[in-house]
């Protein structure tokens, strides 16, 4: 397989994985394209290479910029906007983990805390069981949140690497 075919396979696979992780396929493909590109790419180049619409390209780029995993690049003498990917896997992976935590784990913890407070005084058998279940899920979620915070705040994921060494 030649280099271009390998790059295309990576872009296609990353897009499919993105869909599995709840990320728009085009967003994942744009990130993958920028990851494998040696030079900054304009919106027009991204549209052409991925055969996506301008609206789709702009939405994908905006989302990736918001995540902080791609950057705008100015090219002297050119009025177009160009984009480059953060190529340090630890930087962008940890940013994604933190963003996903804020969107997915933190809201669940807040709801579980509310439910825990609302059901704490219910002395029925069913109420006690519900409270116990909610409390255990809340404690687990809180520990997961704390772990994610510690990993994201560690230098280049050193804590994660140490944890992996312990379990492997």
38 half-sphere exposure, CB direction, 13 A CA radius: 2
The secondary structure of residue 6, as a DSSP letter, is H
Which residue would you say has higher pLDDT here, 142 or 160? 142
Of residues 82 and 144, which shows the higher confidence score?
82
pTM of the model: 0.77
pLDDT tens readout for residues 24-68: 999 999 999 999 999 999 999 999 999 999 999 999 999 999 999
End-to-end CA distance of the chain: 33
């Amino acid at each position: 397989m030649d280099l271009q075919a390998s790059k295309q396979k990576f872009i296609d696979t990353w897009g499919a994985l993105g869909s599995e992780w709840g990320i728009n396929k085009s967003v994942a493909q744009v990130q993958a394209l920028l990851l494998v590109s040696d030079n900054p790419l304009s919106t027009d180049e991204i549209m052409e290479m991925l055969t996506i619409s301008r609206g789709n390209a702009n939405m994908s780029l905006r989302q990736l910029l918001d995540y902080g995993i791609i950057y705008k690049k100015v090219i002297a003498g050119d009025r177009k906007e160009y984009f480059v990917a953060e190529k340090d896997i630890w930087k962008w992976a940890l940013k994604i983990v933190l963003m996903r935590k804020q969107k997915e784990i933190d809201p669940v913890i807040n709801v579980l805390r509310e439910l825990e407070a609302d059901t704490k005084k219910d002395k029925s058998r069913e109420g006690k069981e519900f409270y116990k279940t909610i409390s255990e899920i809340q404690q687990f979620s809180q520990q997961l949140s704390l772990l994610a915070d510690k990993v994201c705040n560690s230098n280049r994921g050193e804590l994660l690497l140490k944890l992996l060494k312990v379990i492997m």
